[in-house]
Amino acid sequence: MVIEVDGFSHEREGQFEKDKARELNLNALGFHVLRFSDDEVMNDIENVNRTIQHFIAEWEKDHPGSC
Q: Could you tell me the pLDDT band of residue 11, with boundaries at 50, 70 and 90?
A: low
Gap between the Cα atoms of 52 and 28, Å rounded: 21
Domain ranges of the chain: 2-62
Average pLDDT, integer, range 8-26: 83
Q: Could you tell me the pLDDT band of residue 63, with boundaries at 50, 70 and 90?
A: confident
